[in-house]
Amino acid sequence: MSDSTTTETTDQSVWLSLKDIDGSPLRGFVCLFAIVFGIWHVVTNVYLNEPGLWQNAIHFAGFAFLAAVTVPLVSRQKATKLNTTLNVIYGSFVAAAALWVAASESSLYERSLAVTGQAWQFNLIDWLAGGLLIFAALDLSRRVSGWVIPILIMLSLSYILFLGSHLPGVFRAASLPANDVLFRTLYNDEGMFGILASISSVNITLFMIFGGFLVASGASNFVIEVSKVVAGRIRGGAAFVAVLSSALTGTISGSAIANTASTGVITIPLMKANGFRPKFAAGVEAAASTGGQLMPPIMGAGAFVMASYTSIPYSTIVSVSVMPAILYFLSVAFIVRIEAVKHQVGQDIDLVVNKGKLLSGGLVFVIPLTVMIWFLMSGVTPAYAASWAIASLIIVSWGTSLLAAIIKQSGFEPVVMGPRQIADALLIGMRTAIMTGILLVAIGIMNNAIVTSGIGNGFSLMIAQWSQGSIVLAILLIGLASLVLGMGLPVTAAYIILAILTAPALAGILADTIIVEQLISGIADPAKSAIFALVDSPHVAKVADGMTREEAVALLGAMPFELAITVRPLLVDPTQQAVFLLTAHLIIFWLSQDSNVTPPVCLAAFAAAGIAGSKPMETGFQSWKIAKGLYIVPLMFAYTPLISGDWLQIMQIGLFGLFGMYAVNALIQLHAEGPLNLLTGSLLIIGGIGSFWPLNLPLNILGAGIVVMAVVLSARAMRHKLDRSEPSISPV
């Protein structure tokens, strides 16, 4: 663990390292508590069978204590003995309040049943405990992520307490009594200790711990070295190292900013030494680190949240995300190649590979990750898979040390995961998990308010009305909302809020494409066609016989949102509905990542700029250009069977999509293998459209061929340019 504090703009916000706590006895106690707390997360998910409320309450109690002690009340607050003592007392009271809420559930029901005709009967201690927990959610979420989430929580509570009754239209909601709001906040499945808290306590924290073991075992060094092996002899290879290493580490870290800070300190200086401009080097690292959360098998916290909300198996979400992740990272690689050719950088520079680190970290990275993927694909719970991956890493580290003693390879010094190393790994994992553990419980307050009030339907109706049934407009609106939310929220929190508010509307718009086709051909089933009799539209009479596409779109547009929700399950096959729901969530999840790399608030790019010594805003625009896959791939989700087709269709879409991706990047840079002119630029536009066209093999082949033609022509132009620029050499 580092003795320094992290940057204020990171996902971990402003917290003090556990080693910075004033007073060594207290520091030792907090470190011991964090280690035991980490072990509890493994044990409770593998061996114990605690009720969900108890597990989530203990989970929040522990992280509330750690956050109170390790995260300062205000920025740059000095960790004096008095401040630390007060924070320990505060954290202890919050932890006790969480445990009290879990313990008093049964007695609360008994008291409420004994008093007929009245709402939930909280006693004084219940009110104090519940009030303290809500206050702690506000305070601790502010400490770890800033003011946005506390403000949203206060607005959410105000909405269901009194504001909702004063709002007009679809946003009007009945005001609830305070005891009803408190009960729903504490005990509902959508509340503080409900679904979102379970995602953190059951899955995310274990994977954070696994990431800590990878760091402590030296496996993270392997990522850098293997990236050098793969990309070290390619023009601009240092930038490819950043792309590969960020893809491998980002999926485990779950944080674009933490990934940028950890791998960027190695890759950004490498890229600068390789000849890349500082702002471009920083932009590549930020864009690649952002993509780490899109990379299977872990995908940060996104896949767990998605599985919980959609009830789609985790393994399915991970498997359909492989090709999109490949498209994204190759898109970043394309723009790296174009930049290297355009500015003639990175030629004849060989990256030195540390064979000792490559050997030392290889086994403890590959084998545990393979074990985890195998368990995930076999259908066991993610928590069980992560636990076995941790166990296998410890065992492999011992085996690797024996191998080192036998072969005596120079520099081959593996880390043996003994008690000290295991403790360090647990500390790293628990420190990383503090922010998520606090935020997912705090967001539960908002989630409960949204579900209780029904305001989510209002937002869905707004999206449906503004987009007028257009998928592109709906995606654009959601993208803008994600950018605004992402300015003040970590991307996981932004995704959760957007998914609650907009996923039903987007899934409905996607499903309407199927209903439109049915209306065009005519719905002969009287039971289904009779549904449209409730719609005020002149096109209702044509439902059984068929109509034009324009008429079908107009008919659906005239259908009230409440009726549309009822109609879709009757007209769309349940399997297709599940696909549309997953597609909507994936689109929202991808778009929620854009705040890391999109100005004016692009924290991953700003973190990279600090390492590169480049101007933050210029770096932000560079990272935004490089990360264009964040916008292209969601459109492919919507308009092609990239996640729902058979493997041949997915391969066809992915393969030809790469040609389209290259064309887009070349047009952005106005350069391919050489400078673009009117002819090559036009060819790239035409070829890109043909390459992206869904499942039209002749057109895809033609489009890819045109892109290749444009690249060849641009390469000739580049050779001609270089030939003209070479100075003539006179004989001596």
What are the structural domain ranges in the chain?
A: 1-146, 454-596, 645-724
Cα–Cα distances (Å) from 163 to 90, 172, 174, 457, 461, in that order, read 31, 9, 9, 17, 20
Selection from 16-30, 296-310, 626-640 with the highest mean pLDDT: 626-640
| Of 487, 702, 690, 481, nearest in space to 587 by CA | 481
Task: List Cβ neighbours of 356 (8 Å cut-off, separation of 6 or more).
Answer: 409, 410, 411, 412, 413
In the predicted model, is pLDDT for residue 634 greater than 90? yes
Is residue 590 within 8 Å of 634, Cβ to Cβ? yes
Mean pLDDT, all residues of the chain:
83
Helix ranges (H only) for 71-123 are: 81-103, 105-114
Mean per-residue pLDDT, 423-437: 88
pLDDT of 545: 86
In the predicted model, is pLDDT for residue 410 greater than 60? no
| Distance of alpha carbon 521 from alpha carbon 63, whole angstroms | 57
- Higher pLDDT among residues 382 and 157, named by residue: 157
Mean per-residue pLDDT, 392-417: 76
Share of the chain above pLDDT 90, in %: 30
In the predicted model, is pLDDT for residue 8 greater than 70? no
In the predicted model, is pLDDT for residue 210 greater than 90? no
In the predicted model, is pLDDT for residue 98 greater than 90? yes
pLDDT of 729: 39
Helix ranges (H only) for 11-166 are: 24-46, 52-70, 81-103, 105-114, 124-145, 148-158
Share of the chain above pLDDT 70, in %: 87
pLDDT of 19: 44
pLDDT of 207: 82
In the predicted model, is pLDDT for residue 37 greater than 90? yes
Query: Within 10 A of 512 (CB to CB), how many other CB atoms are there?
Result: 25
In the predicted model, is pLDDT for residue 728 greater than 60? no
Mean per-residue pLDDT, 722-732: 50
Tell me phi and psi for residue 643, to 5 degrees.
-115, -5
- Higher pLDDT among residues 193 and 291, named by residue: 193
Helix (H) or strand (E) holding 446: helix 419-453
Mean per-residue pLDDT, 576-583: 90
In the predicted model, is pLDDT for residue 703 greater than 90? yes
Cα–Cα distances (Å) from 683 to 365, 558, 629, 686, in that order, read 44, 42, 21, 5
**Segment 165-191, tens digit of pLDDT:** 888 876 788 889 999 999 999 999 889
